[in-house]
Amino acid sequence: MATIRPFKAIRPTKDKAFFVASRSYEEYGPDELNAVLQHNPFSFLHIINPGFKFEKNITGKERFHLVRNRYLEFLEENIFQKDGEAGFYLYQIEKGDFKSLGFFCACSVEDYRNGTIKKHEDTIQQRETLFADYLHTVGFNAEPVLMTYPDNELINTIFQRKIQREPEYDFTSTDRVNHKLWRISYPEGIEKLQKAFEQMDSLYIADGHHRSASSNLLAEYRKAENKSHIGTEPYNYFMAYLIPESQIRIYEFNRMVKDLNGYATDEFLIQLDKHFIIEKRDDGLCRPKQKHEFSMYLEGDFYSLHLRQTHYTFTDALSHLDTQILFKTVLEPILDISDLRNDARISYGCGKDNLIRMKEGVDKGDFAVGFSLVPTTIEEIKAIADAGLVMPPKSTYIEPKLRSGLAIYEL
């Protein structure tokens, strides 16, 4: 049984939503970030980058306290306002032929602990602790965890009726993404949505494993501090964006390696021959077309690598995953890369033109070889999560990518 809870969001006033909404901080290059901070005083980036005001790079606890101060300033200046009624927040993102419709809600840390909320990635303890300390100081959650649920006719009917009405926000950002937000605050709608999710056995984290783990850690901190803890306090929940499985897009990450671990090209190909049927291609950019097929770019040539299933043993859901197959047949035994997260010899690429960028990187000599894979599927993610297994790093790049600042959950 999955528990969802409405909340009173802190949101920008309608006339400022366009100016407040920001992409993830990591997506901005230095020049673009500086331009936004210089020319848009309402951007949410001012809250999470408070050192700009003092022309100083501020880190650690000092930054956390200043983030809190900037947040309070946005409230005091009525850039942000708090809703008077608790609700769910329906949020639609549309660009080109891609449209996603999900909603912001509060999810239970208890569901995370008991496995109702399922994960497929490992987290790093240091990052968990750092972000939990951040949340503890700033007192709000502005980065929702992206989670999926099975497509549901009742939920979809409620949403389709709601989006016929005028949205609270309707704007197009400069990257040509249209954003619309509606508030569902009527008791009947809230109750129907809660009951629908009570019928679901599981929710699946698509993006935000560290945010989930940190929210769980924060709840432990706050519980220890609160002698009157009863379990319904805001810190027992975290903000999530729930979306039907059919409305996410999953892209692949390429793998690019700086050297061949001492092998000459012909020696490397012979090593690969143990596990793959190798086909040299002469038809331009070569993308893999099916599971267990890989595209390799090496010394100016593309190759198709087809897994020899007689030389590879499938044992569980993880062993069927292409990123795991490449790791176990090539990266670890041949190229001597065992730490996919920290080894400086391997890099990853994603996005629309990632195959072209992979080729350019090899042609320039930045890398010796590149591998392209087909995207992981939602069924594979769920199978691995259900089995309590963990994917290799950089197995999925998932959209939609949400804007920050449109709905904030106070802790």
The answer to whether residues 177 and 95 touch, using CB atoms and an 8 Å cutoff, is yes
Output the six-digit token pair for 387: 């089995």
Q: Say which residue, 56 or 3, is predicted with more confidence.
A: 3
Confidence grade of residue 313 (pLDDT, cut at 50, 70, 90): very high
Model confidence band, residue 75 (pLDDT cutoffs 50, 70, 90): very high
- Mean local confidence (pLDDT), 31-56: 91
Residue pair 394/132 in contact (Cβ under 8 Å)? The answer is: no
Task: Provide the number of structural domains found in the chain.
Answer: 2
In the structure encoding, which two tokens stand for residue 385, read together?
């999560």
Query: Do 107 and 131 belong together in one domain?
Result: yes
- End-to-end CA distance of the chain, in Å? 24
Q: Which uninterrupted H or E stretch holds 59?
A: none
- Residues with Cβ within 8 Å of 393's Cβ and at least 6 positions away in sequence, in order, are 121, 340, 341
Q: Model confidence at 118, in pLDDT bands (50, 70, 90)?
A: very high
Q: Give the C-alpha distances (Å, rounded to integers) separating 27 from 22, 186, 317.
A: 10, 36, 32
Gap between the Cα atoms of 321 and 376, Å rounded: 8
Same domain for 404 and 383, yes or no, is no
- CA of 280: how far to CAs of 8, 274, 387, 399, in Å? 59, 16, 37, 33
- Whether 104 and 241 have beta carbons less than 8 Å apart is answered as yes
Q: Are 401 and 24 in contact (CB under 8 A)?
A: yes
pTM value is 0.92
Same domain for 188 and 75, yes or no, is yes
Q: What is the dihedral angle through the alpha carbons of 132, 135, 138, 143, rounded to the nearest 10 degrees?
A: 140
- 261 Rama sector, left if φ>0, alpha if ψ -120 to 50, beta otherwise: left
In single-letter form, the type of residue at position 145 comes to V
pLDDT at 302 over 90: yes
**Sign of the C-alpha dihedral computed for residues 357, 362, 363 and 364 taken in this order:** positive
Go through 164-198 and write b for each residue having 16 or more CB atoms within 10 A of its CB, e for each that does not: eeebbbeeeeeeebebbbbbbbeeebbebbbebbe
How many angstroms separate the Cα of 251 from the Cα of each of 80, 279, 292, 373?
35, 24, 16, 9
Identify which has the larger pLDDT, 139 or 310. Answer: 139
Could you read off the pLDDT of 136-195 as tens digits, one per residue? Answer: 999 999 999 999 999 999 999 999 999 999 999 999 999 999 999 999 999 999 999 999
**Sign of the torsion formed by the C-alpha atoms of 163, 167, 172 and 173:** negative
Mean per-residue pLDDT of the chain: 95
Is 347 in the same domain as 406? no
Of all helices (H) and strands (E), which one includes residue 271? helix 265-272
Give the pLDDT band of residue 131 (cuts 50, 70, 90). Answer: very high
pLDDT given for residue 282 in this prediction: 87
Same domain membership, residue 112 and residue 67: yes
Question: Are residue 318 and residue 259 in the same domain, yes or no?
Answer: yes
**Which DSSP letter does residue 311 get?**
G
Query: 218 and 303: one domain?
Result: no
Domain assignment of residue 294, given as a range: 253-395
CATH number of the domain that residue 370 is part of:
3.30.1760.10
**Tokens of residue 329, six digits:** 């047949």
pLDDT of residue 381: 95
In this structure, the answer to whether residues 302 and 186 fall within a common structural domain is: no
Q: Are residues 169 and 279 in the same domain?
A: no
336 and 406 co-located in one domain: no
* β partners of residue 244: 149
pLDDT of residue 353: 80
One domain for residues 218 and 244: yes
Can you give the pLDDT at residue 26?
82
Is residue 180 domain-shared with residue 321, that is, in the same domain? Answer: no
Q: What is the pLDDT of residue 283?
A: 83
